[in-house]
C-alpha cells in the first residue's frame, strides 16, 4: 500500500513539474508566421502661415515607431525632420512622404505604436505637441497624416 502511495505521489509530482515547465516552453514556441507591417506618413500643413506673425516661426518633427510585446517596448525606427519655417511646409497635395516597413511582427502578440512630436518655435518660445496611433492586429498598412 505504501509503495502504491509513493508511486502515485511521484507521478503526481512529475505531472506538476512537467506542467510548470511546459507552459513557458509552449509560450516560447511560436507557430504563427511573422508579418511585415508598413506605415506611411504624410507631413503637411492646412494653413498658409503667410501672416507676419509667423514669419520667423518654425517647427521640427520627430517620429518614432515602437514594437510592443507585453510590457517590452523596443524602438524599431526613429527620424527627426529638420526644423523648417511654418510657411515652407507643403500642403497635403505635396506632402512630405515617408514609408516605414517593420518586419517580423508576430501579429497575435505584438503591435506597433507610432508616436510623433512637433516642436514649434516662435521667437525663442517653444511648444511641443505629441500624438500618435496604434497599428493593431490585422492592420498591416497604416497611414498617418501629420498636420503641422
pTM here? 0.76
Cα separation of 69 and 109, whole Å?
A: 6
Shared domain check, 123 and 81: yes
Backbone angles phi, psi at 100, to 5 degrees: -120, 135
Among 45, 130, 143, CA closest to 99: 143
Shared domain check, 25 and 66: no
Sequence-ordered strand ranges (E) for 1-148: 35-44, 58-69, 72-85, 96-105, 111-122, 125-135, 141-147
Is 133:144 a contact under the CB 8 Å cutoff? Answer: yes
| 64-94 tens-digit pLDDT | 999 999 999 999 999 999 999 999 999 999 9
Shared domain check, 69 and 10: no
Shared domain check, 136 and 119: yes
Shared domain check, 27 and 39: no
| 16-37 tens-digit pLDDT | 666 666 656 555 565 788 999 9
pLDDT of residue 60: 97
**Domains of the chain: total:** 2
Shared domain check, 68 and 3: no
Backbone angles phi, psi at 111, to 5 degrees: -145, 165
Cα separation of 110 and 22, whole Å?
A: 22
Q: Which domain holds residue 141?
A: 35-147
Cα separation of 91 and 129, whole Å?
A: 20
| 128-147 tens-digit pLDDT | 999 999 998 888 999 999 99
Which uninterrupted H or E stretch holds 3? helix 2-28
CA distances for 60 relative to 23, 48, 79, angstroms: 47, 17, 11
Shared domain check, 21 and 53: no
Amino acid at each position: 500500500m505504501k509503495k502504491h502511495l509513493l508511486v502515485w505521489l511521484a507521478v503526481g509530482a512529475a505531472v506538476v513539474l512537467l506542467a510548470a515547465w511546459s507552459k513557458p516552453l509552449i509560450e516560447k514556441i511560436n507557430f504563427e508566421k511573422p508579418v511585415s507591417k508598413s506605415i506611411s506618413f504624410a507631413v503637411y500643413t492646412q494653413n498658409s502661415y503667410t501672416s507676419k506673425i509667423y514669419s520667423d516661426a518654425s517647427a521640427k518633427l520627430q517620429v518614432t515607431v515602437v514594437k510592443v510585446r507585453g510590457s517590452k517596448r523596443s524602438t524599431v525606427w526613429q527620424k527627426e525632420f529638420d526644423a523648417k519655417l511654418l510657411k515652407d511646409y507643403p500642403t497635403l497635395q505635396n506632402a512630405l512622404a515617408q514609408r516605414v516597413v517593420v518586419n517580423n511582427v508576430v501579429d497575435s502578440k505584438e503591435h506597433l505604436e507610432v508616436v510623433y512630436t512637433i516642436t514649434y518655435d516662435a521667437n525663442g518660445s517653444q511648444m511641443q505637441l505629441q500624438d500618435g496611433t496604434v497599428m493593431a492586429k490585422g492592420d498591416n498598412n497604416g497611414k498617418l497624416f501629420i498636420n503641422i
